[in-house]
Structure 1
Amino acid sequence: LSCTICLKWFTEPLILPCGHNFCKSCLTNAWAEQ
């Protein structure tokens, strides 16, 4: 599976309550930008 933010294989994958998966670093960066 791959991250929909960076489009690479997951690194430290996180699963949100809604079921979506992201890399921990991608999600952290996305939240920091908002």
Structure 2
Amino acid sequence: MRVAWIFPGQGAEEPGMGLAFPRAASLLSIVER
């Protein structure tokens, strides 16, 4: 479940990815669904 760490809430655990593309993550989460 990549969506798990893609969510902003889990972003805290992955600051590198969360800060890399916060908005892109939101779009990816929808695409993964």
Q: Same fold (TM over 0.5)?
A: no
| CA radius of gyration, larger in | 1
TM interval, short-chain normalised: 0.3 to 0.5
Q: How does the TM-score come out when normalised to structure 2?
A: 0.37
What TM-score does the superposition give when structure 1 sets the normalisation length? Answer: 0.37
Higher-helix-fraction structure: 2
